[in-house]
Structure 1
Amino acid sequence: MIRRSKVLLSVAAVALTCAVAQPATAESDGSSGKPTVRQVSGISPLPAGCGFAEGDGYVLNPNTEVLPALATDPNRPWHLVTVYQQDRWNRYGSNGAVTAVSDDYGRTWRQSTDLPAFSRCNGGTAANGGDYDVTTDNWVTVTPSGTAVSASLSMSRAGDVTAILVSRSGDGGVTWDAPVTLGRDDDPRFFNDRPTVTADPYRPGVVYAVWDRVDVNDQGWVQPVYLAKSTDDGRTWTTAKAYDLPNNSGVIGTQLVPLADGTLLIAMHHETDTEASTQVIRSTDGGRTWSAPTLNAPAPMAVGPRIPDPDNSGDPIRNASLPLLSAQPGTNVVNAVWQSEAADGTYHVAYARSTDSGRTWSAPVDIDKTPVGSAAVPVVATAPNGTVAVTYYDFRNNTADPATLPTDVWAVTCASACTRPGSWREQHLDGPFDARMVPLTSVGRLVGDYTGLVSTGRTFTATYGVATGDPANPVDVHSAIFSG
């Protein structure tokens, strides 16, 4: 069964006011050539002791930030919003979610004035709809009006209560409204999982959220796709099952991408009891009906497997990376990345491209430049001019010491002929850092199930987690600005 549970962004001390005018210097948007790396997070801002007590196998990793998602304002590309998990547990998420904003492409950051109430540590209560032990799988988008919308899988400690929540910020991520519940189950037969939220850049006011919902029944299990839609910038929502599947099959990692011609695409990881694939489905009627998969490429079985450990240390790295899409703005060109598995068991970055709104796709190719071992956690973004960027982690600078695992962050970019692996150019973004110092989960060290990456016009900004080497503040989120 696919079902599974779910770095650190240090907020700069400089407080910025929300910019109205575009920053003008080349240095501010990273176009000088060399990547500009900044810290986004630091010591936890959550109230001390706000979470549930450790014990019964639950271990807290304080002052850790993991799994940053990132969005940019479609009309003000210098304005960015990120959300990440704060104070990660070894099981089922984190004590809270933290949001931060940048008004200079990610060169400086400030924490939001308040936080979306996705958990009790975030200020969630029964009255405001956020009365949950933990939050995880946070995502964020920004609408054409500048409104930010963030999503959460909010849960009970044991995972027997799961809910998909969204929170709206009318001021672009600085302050957040009380959350809206899109779906909730308190019957352990069901498990809501892995939401994403996407604003339609071509249809002002329209926002989509998608997630999967496990149903363990007398005949086995099934894991269909649910879709919620807002037409008023995230104030109100309607929810329905969007894509059903036969029993003993399901999907996870759903991400919806709107295209300029009105087509909607959903990327997802599909599994049965015996096989797995990366799939993309299409809708041409606003999400009411969906096609059979138009991309159906082999993928590793069992979401959440461990990345082959270069040291064979017994302290593995978790791999729950899932398919992601990115469309070239204003066109019907779409880029897809996912984790592939080589014959030797190592993982790599698979890429495919569609130039006809997802009807057909190029043959998958591996595009990472990792010389030995695995490349992990790929994410993708596309610039208006068609340049594509993909970031990932790898372990090429590992040493003979099995107690440490030096890990780096890389980017590859391509301006044309991207279906040929030789067209991609690699650059180093950050590291090495010791991945043995990131939070331990039931399926390995949580380097990241995903990271953040956006195009800001001429350049790209990434957010990702790194270990710091400081026991008092072991994991932070960094941002990197780099050119294509």
Structure 2
Amino acid sequence: MFLAAGPAAANVAVTQVSSDPFTDAQAQHRTEVEPDTFSFGTTIVSAFQVGRVSGGGASNVGFATSTNGGATWTQGFLPGTTGNSGGPCGSLSDASVAFDAKHNVWLISTLGVTCPNTPVFTSRSTDGGLTWSNPVTTATGSNDKNWIVCDNTTTSQFFGNCYTEYDVTSNGNALRMTTSSNGGATWGPARATGDNASGLGGQPVVRPNGTVLVPYLSGNGQIRSFRSIDGGNSWRSTVLVSAVSHHDAAGGLREESLPSAEIDAAGTAYVVWADCRFRSGCPSNDIVLSKSTSETTWAAPVRVPIDATTSTVDHFVPGIGIDPSTSGATARIGLTYYFYPTANCTAATCQLTVGFVSSTNGGTSWSAATQVAGPMSLSWIPNTSQGRMFGDYISTSVRSGGNAFPVIPIGTAPTGSTFNLGMNAPTGGLPVTGGAIRASADVLGTASNQKASLVTAF
């Protein structure tokens, strides 16, 4: 019932939705990494780095948009950002996508890396994600790991508010939030949490009642969360979701246990991350899931049963998506993740692979795993100062009543010094079938070889 440990070829048809056209000398070209994806109605928008720069960011951020439920795609690159598109920055990073239903505007949040300071930008589209405006400045300073979300519940008193989370690297990764109430055209002041928390990789989600929850990875190896109940005017102190036990991926791969978060139609929050607590001695990670219905307390993490705890597989960097029309015991979940078939590998032998599982009962049980892409050698993906990079995050969008759509980087062997790594989507999406493999909460081991502190990760 489990995915085989050997590096079998992927068995999913994919459609390439973008490729790197740039030639600037700073970057490793024909590379695309670190996608985020969001869907609303029949529109799916993905954004990602194009032309990865070893020291941080990329030549630009690209987008791929489908207006017909993933049948066809239009690609392009954000204007007014880097020198490749008439903008002020040398490189751009950390793309995140949202849709504001009240103002009918798509938004892509990005981070200007080699700019004056390290600003957070927001690019806007009013034609369904097909063309984009020059960006507006969302936040200034030395920043990292921005993420954007909008309140799309018409009955919420904060319907139409959008929220961007980021951390301030010059202030110990202090967490900050900023709010827009006019479709991302302007943004309010930066606000700290009640306990002035710090961390990395926060992913805000909005409950139907308008409460914003923000799970993130703290500097002391915990997944924590904070909230706002007043439309972003203030942010409460953080609460514990769970401690993290984490196995660092082999082969010099750039990888960290950042959370991926989503919300269902009833307001239950879901957060997943890579964790080794279910494997004695922490030889590799599983993907684990915690849920909250109360905003302030979180259930103990359960193991997503992709394979046996005795397998050689190492799972990491998950991206969760939930059908926005479902909830609770009938919530339809899609979960995309990366893995090594053999955890104990080297830079020369590691096989980077992409998998997918689904649940139709809120994560109580899961489907057998599907191999979506790979295996890929690490030499097929660009290098950075922190190791080979496919992306610090991935995401999955599940259409209402339909299939799941992750957009993922898939590569083949380089041609000389030129890579062949571009963005792809499963053709027609991935079915959310669910299955009978039940999640587990039995903790076998809590050792960890996680890095001692967070590293700025442009």
Q: 1:107-138: CA deviations, max 9, x gaps?
A: 321113x62422222321xxxxxx11110111
Task: Find 1:106's aligned residue among 52, 70, 92.
Answer: 70
Indicate the SS of the match to 2:413.
coil
Task: Find 1:171's aligned residue among 127, 135, 141.
Answer: 127
Say whether 1:235 aligns with 2:185: yes
5+ unaligned residues in a row in structure 1: which ranges?
1-33, 55-59, 125-130, 186-190, 217-221, 310-314
8 Å contact 1:453–1:462 — kept in the other structure? yes
Task: Find 2:394's aligned residue among 435, 451, 462.
Answer: 451
5+ unaligned residues in a row in structure 2: which ranges?
1-10, 433-458
Say whether 1:376 aligns with 2:288: no
2:243 aligns with 298
1:474 aligns with 420
CA distance in 2, matches of 1:80, 1:67: 16
Structure 2 length-normalised TM: 0.81
CA distance in 1, matches of 2:53, 2:195: 32
> Which residues in structure 2 correspond to 1:68-467 (within 5 Å)?
68-73=35-40, 76=41, 78-112=42-76, 115-124=78-87, 131-144=88-101, 145-156=103-114, 161-185=117-141, 191-203=142-154, 204-216=159-171, 222-243=172-193, 245=195, 250-271=198-219, 275-299=220-244, 306-307=248-249, 309=250, 315-329=251-265, 331-342=266-277, 343-356=281-294, 358-370=295-307, 371-383=311-323, 384-385=325-326, 386-396=331-341, 403-416=348-361, 418=363, 420=364, 423-457=366-400, 458-467=402-411
CA distance in 2, matches of 1:354, 1:366: 16
Specify whether residues 170 and 351 from structure 1 end up closer, same or farther in structure 2 by C-alpha distance, changes over 3 A only.
same
8 Å contact 1:118–1:152 — kept in the other structure? no
Indicate the SS of the match to 2:170.
strand
Specify whether residues 293 and 184 from structure 1 end up closer, same or farther in structure 2 by C-alpha distance, changes over 3 A only.
closer
CA distance in 1, matches of 2:71, 2:420: 22
8 Å contact 1:324–1:379 — kept in the other structure? yes
CA distance in 1, matches of 2:208, 2:368: 28
Identity of aligned residues (%): 24
CA distance in 2, matches of 1:151, 1:432: 30
8 Å contact 1:398–1:406 — kept in the other structure? no
The one-letter amino acid paired with 2:186 is: T
8 Å contact 2:381–2:390 — kept in the other structure? yes
CA distance in 2, matches of 1:295, 1:425: 31
Specify whether residues 102 and 299 from structure 1 end up closer, same or farther in structure 2 by C-alpha distance, changes over 3 A only.
same
Deviation at 1:245, TM superposition (A): 4.5
The one-letter amino acid paired with 1:148 is: W
Count of residue pairs the alignment pairs up: 401
2:21 aligns with 45
Q: 1:267-324: CA deviations, max 9, x gaps?
A: 11111xxx320011122112223333344311258xxx941x2xxxxx4111034112
8 Å contact 2:28–2:419 — kept in the other structure? no
CA distance in 1, matches of 2:305, 2:423: 23
1:21 aligns with none
8 Å contact 1:298–1:340 — kept in the other structure? no
Deviation at 1:337, TM superposition (A): 0.6
Specify whether residues 402 and 261 from structure 1 end up closer, same or farther in structure 2 by C-alpha distance, changes over 3 A only.
closer
Deviates more, 1:370-379 or 1:394-403: 394-403
Indicate the SS of the match to 1:141.
strand
8 Å contact 1:140–1:149 — kept in the other structure? yes
1:26 aligns with none
CA distance in 2, matches of 1:276, 1:201: 32
8 Å contact 2:178–2:232 — kept in the other structure? no
- Larger strand proportion of the pair: 1
1:18 aligns with none
Q: 1:421-445: CA deviations, max 9, x gaps?
A: x545422222222233101112211
Deviation at 1:400, TM superposition (A): 8.2
CA distance in 2, matches of 1:318, 1:178: 31
Specify whether residues 35 and 334 from structure 1 end up closer, same or farther in structure 2 by C-alpha distance, changes over 3 A only.
farther
CA distance in 2, matches of 1:164, 1:366: 35
CA distance in 1, matches of 2:352, 2:15: 18
Specify whether residues 108 and 263 from structure 1 end up closer, same or farther in structure 2 by C-alpha distance, changes over 3 A only.
same
Indicate the SS of the match to 2:110.
strand
8 Å contact 1:414–1:425 — kept in the other structure? no
CA distance in 1, matches of 2:205, 2:136: 22
Indicate the SS of the match to 1:254.
coil
Deviation at 1:341, TM superposition (A): 3.3
Indicate the SS of the match to 1:215.
helix
Structure 1 length-normalised TM: 0.77
